[in-house]
Chains A and B, each alone.
Chain A
C-alpha cells in the first residue's frame, strides 16, 4: 500500500511503501550475561532515508543492527528487512543489505584489491569496477594491505565494499567511532553521495550526535534497549523547545538535564515560537535523560 510521500534528506520525494527496516517488539537477551540488550523495541526505517540511530554505549544499537543482518536471533519479536525476516530467509535479507561493522574488520594480510575480489566471490552481482573506482577516487592504493591502512581508510574501504554490493539498504554500525574529524567528514560525504546516487536507504548508528546531524533526515534514539524517540529530524526539532525547569506543565516536559556548562534546562514538547528550539544534541540528551529517569523510577517501584 502506498502512503503519502515523504521527503528524504537527499531532497527526493518518496512514496511510502514497505519500510526498508522494521523492528517489531524486539527484545534480545544475551544468555552469557543475562542482560537485556533490547527491550520491546519497535521501529520503522522508511525507504530512501538516511536514519541516525543514536544512543549511548550499550544502548543496543549494534545488537539491533546485527539482528537485521541475521547475526543475532531476537529473544522476542521479529525484525524485517524490506519485509523479509532474516531468521526465515537469511539469504533474502542479506541480499538486500550492505553492512559495515563496528570494528570494520578487514583481512589484515589481504590487499585492498584482494578485498574487492573477495567480495566479488562472495556476493553475486558485486560491482568490482565500481568498488575499484570509488577506492581510486579516495586515493587509497589498491595494492596496500589492509593491515597498514589507517582507521579512516579501512572504514572507507569497508563502506566502498558495502556500497558496491548494490544493496538497497546500508547498515553502518558506528563506522565513525575511531575516525578523526577529516576522515569522518570524508566518510559521510562518500555515504551521502552514494545514497543520493542510488536512492538507497541507510541506517547509521553513532553515539556522537554531531556526526550524523548534517547528513541524516531521520532520528532514532535508543536508550537502555528501548526506542526513546523516532521521528524525522526536522519535525523532532520543530516539535520541541528548551525552557527553564518548571516553566510548563509536567506532562509537556520530556526531561530535565544539564547543559555542557552545567545549566539545568527542560526539554519540552512544544512549538512555542517564543522558546528556543533544541539542537539535535540537546534533543537526544533530553530523551536519554528521560529514558534514564524512567528506568530509575521503574527500579524504585520494583524495589
Chain B
C-alpha cells in the first residue's frame, strides 16, 4: 500500500508538491498572523481606561485592527478559497491524466479490478488532502479565535472558512474533481467544469440550502442589540440571505431607518462631527457627543433579520453533512464510470 501511495505521489508530483506547498505557506501565514494578533493582547484592555484615565493602548489596538483588515483579511480569503482549489488540483488528474496520456492501457491491463486501481490512486490523495485541510482548518480556527474581541461573533461565511467545514468543502471539491476527470478524460476541461460546479454550490447552493433549512430560526434584531448580545449577521449582508419581506419597525420591508434624515437633524443641531479616532476620545468628540445626546436616539435604528450565533454549529453540521454527501457520492459514482470507461 505504501509503495502504491508513493508511486501515486510520484505520478502526480507536480500537483502534490504544489498543493502541499500552497497549504503549508497558507497555514504558516495564518499561524504567524494569529500569533501577531494574540501577542497584541488587546482583549479587555482596549475597552477600558488605564490608570491615567486614558486609552493609552490605542496604538496597539489600531495595529490590531490594521492586521485584521489586511493580513488577516487575506488569510481569511485564502482559507476560504484554498481548500476547494487544492481539492480540484488533487482530484481532477487522478483519472483524467491517465486517460489523457493513455497510461490507462497499461494500468487497466495489469489491474484485475479497476476499482482497486482507482482506490490505490485515490486513497493517497485523499489522505494528503485531508491532512492538509485539517491543518488549515485548525490554523483557521486559531486565526478566528485570535480575532475575537468583545462580544462580536464572526459571520457564518467566516465560520465556514475554518475547522471541519473547511475540510468538508475541500474534500467535496476533490470528489467532484475526480468524477469530472473520470467522465471527461481530459484534465483542463474537467478542471473547469468541476470548478464551475464547486463555485455554483458554494455561492448559490449553500445559501439556498441554508435559507430553506433555517429561515424559521432567523430573528429580527437591531444592530446595537445584535452586537451587544453576541448575535452575528448571517453571511456577508445581514438580512440579505433571508426573507426581508417581513415589515420592519418602520413598516417597510427590510426594516429601513431614515439614517440620512436623522443625520441632517443632528448636523443642524450640533454641526459636523469632528474627525474620527478609534474611540473618539478627544475633547472635541466629547463635546459633540454631549450635544448629540440631546437628539432623540432610536434604539432600533438598524433592524436586520439574522440568525443567532448560537445556531452556527447547526449550520456547520448541515454543511458538513451536505458537503460530505456530495463529495462521497461523487467518489462512489467514479467507480462505475471507471469500470465502464474505454481507455484511450
- Set of chain A residues within 8 Å of B4, measured between Cβ atoms: 118, 121
Contact B105 A71 (CB under 8 A): yes
Q: How far is the CA of A118 from the CA of B8 in the complex (A)?
A: 9
Interface: B278 (CB within 8 A): no
- Top 6 nearest A-B pairs (CB, nearest first) are A99-B109, A105-B102, A101-B105, A91-B112, A122-B110, A121-B4
Contact with A along B306-340 (1 / 0, CB 8 A): 00000000000000000000000000000000000
Over the window 10-26 of chain A, the binary record of Cβ atoms lying under 8 Å from chain B Cβ atoms (1 yes, 0 no) is 00000000000000000
Asked if B210 CB lies within 8 Å of chain A CBs, one says no
Q: Is the interface of B mostly helix, strand, loop or mixed?
A: helix
Contacts of B120 in A (CB 8 A): 121-122
Asked if B268 is at the interface (CB within 8 A of a chain A CB), the reply is no
Q: List 30 A-B contacts (CB under 8 A).
A: A69-B109, A71-B108, A71-B109, A72-B342, A91-B113, A95-B112, A98-B109, A99-B105, A101-B106, A105-B101, A105-B102, A105-B103, A105-B105, A107-B101, A107-B103, A109-B13, A110-B11, A114-B10, A117-B3, A118-B4, A118-B7, A119-B110, A121-B7, A121-B120, A122-B107, A122-B111, A122-B120, A123-B110, A161-B106, A165-B110
CA distance A117 to B11 in the complex (A): 13
Residues of B within 8 A of A118 (CB): 4, 7, 107, 110
* A94–B109 touching, CB < 8 Å: yes
Contact residues in B for A161 (Cβ distance below 8 Å):
106, 110
Contact mask A74-114 → B, CB, 8 Å, 1/0? 00000000000000001100110111010101111110001
Residue A195 interfacial (CB < 8 Å): no
Q: How far is the CA of A107 from the CA of B110 in the complex (A)?
A: 14
Q: Which of B3, B110, B117, B343 contacts A71 (CB 8 A)?
A: B343
Q: How far is the CB of A24 from chain B (nearest CB, A)?
A: 21
Point out the residues of chain A lying under 8 angstroms from B111, CB to CB: 94, 122-123
> In the bound complex, what is the Cα–Cα distance between A119 and B108 (angstroms)?
10
- List the B side residues contacting A110 at CB < 8 Å: 7, 10-11
Contacting pair B106 A123 (CB below 8 A): no
Q: A91-B113, A117-B3, A122-B107 are in contact. Are A109 and B11 (CB under 8 A)?
A: yes
Give per-residue flags for A108-139: 1 if the beta carbon is below 8 A from chain B beta carbons, else 0: 11100010011111111010000000000000
Write the chain A residue with the least CB distance to B343: A71
What are the residues of chain B within 8 A of A114 when measuring CB–CB? 7, 10
Chain B contributes a number of interface residues (CB within 8 A of A) equal to 22
Confirm or deny: A158 has a beta carbon within 8 angstroms of a beta carbon on chain B.
yes
Chain B residues whose C-beta falls within 8 Å of the C-beta of A121 in the assembled complex: 3-4, 7, 120
CA gap between A111 and B27 in the complex, in Å = 33
Scoring A residues 157 to 178 as 1 if CB is less than 8 Å from chain B, else 0, what string do you get?
Answer: 0100100010000000000000
Assess the B102–A101 pair: CB atoms within 8 A: yes
Q: Give per-residue flags for B7-33: 1 if the beta carbon is below 8 A from chain A beta carbons, else 0.
A: 100110100000000000000000000
Q: Report whether B106 and A106 are in contact in the complex, using a CB–CB cutoff of 8 Å.
A: yes
With CB as the reference atom, state the residue of chain A lying closest to B117. A122
Which of chain B's residues 197-247 have a Cβ closer than 8 Å to chain A?
Answer: none
- B10 proximity list for chain A (CB < 8 A): 109-110, 114
Nearest-CB residue, chain A, relative to B106: A105
Q: List chain A positions with a Cβ less than 8 A from chain B.
A: 69, 71-72, 90-91, 94-95, 97-99, 101, 103, 105-110, 114, 117-124, 126, 158, 161, 165
Interface residues of B (CB under 8 A from A): 3-4, 7, 10-11, 13, 101-103, 105-113, 117, 120, 342-343
Chain B's closest residue to A165 (CB) is B110
Q: Complex Cα distance A240/B24, Å?
A: 73
Alpha-carbon gap, A98 to B110, bound state (A)? 8
Q: Which residues of A contact B13 (CB under 8 A)?
A: 109
In the complex the two chains form, what is the Cα distance from A90 to B108 in whole Å?
A: 11
- Nearest B residue to A94 via CB reads B112
Give Cα A69–Cα B104 distance, bound, in whole angstroms.
Answer: 12
Q: A117-B7, A121-B3, A122-B120 are in contact. Are A106 and B103 (CB under 8 A)?
A: yes
Q: How far is the CB of B297 from chain A (nearest CB, A)?
A: 69
Bound-state Cα–Cα, A97 to B11, Å: 25
| B5–chain A nearest beta-carbon distance, Å | 9
Chain B residues within 8 Å of A126, by CB? 110
By beta carbon, the residue of chain B nearest A69 is B109
Across the interface, name the chain B residue whose C-beta is closest to A119. Answer: B110
Complex CA gap A158/B107 in Å reads 11
A90 CA to B109 CA in the complex, in Å? Answer: 10
User: A101 CA to B60 CA in the complex, in Å?
Assistant: 68
Chain B: minimal CB distance from A114 (Å):
6
Cross-interface CB contact of B342 among A71, A105, A108, cutoff 8 Å? A71
A122 proximity list for chain B (CB < 8 A): 107, 110-111, 117, 120
State the CA gap A122–B101 with chains docked (Å). Answer: 18
Complex Cα–Cα for A114 and B36 (A): 46
B68 to chain A, nearest CB (A): 44
A97 to B111, CA, bound (A): 11
Q: Is the CB of A108 within 8 A of B101?
A: yes
Known: A98-B109, A109-B10. 8 other contacts (CB 8 A): A90-B113, A99-B109, A101-B106, A103-B105, A114-B10, A122-B111, A123-B111, A165-B110
- Given known A103-B102, A114-B10, contact A97–B3 (CB-CB < 8 A): no
Residues of A within 8 A of B108 (CB): 69, 71
For the complex, give the distance between the alpha carbons of A105 and B342 in Å.
15
Cβ contacts under 8 Å, B11 to chain A: 107, 109-110
Central interface residue in B3, B107, B110, by most chain A CB within 10 Å: B110
Distance from A273 Cβ to chain B, minimum over Cβ atoms (Å): 46
A114, A119, A121: most-surrounded residue (chain B CB, <10 A): A121
**Bound-complex Cα distance A105 to B343 (A):** 11
Q: Roughly how many angstroms separate A94 CA and B114 CA in the complex, as a whole number?
A: 11
What's the minimum C-beta distance from B128 to chain A, rounded to whole angstroms?
18
Cα A105 to Cα B98 with chains together (Å): 10
A171 to B148, CA, bound (A): 66
Residues of B within 8 A of A106 (CB): 103, 106
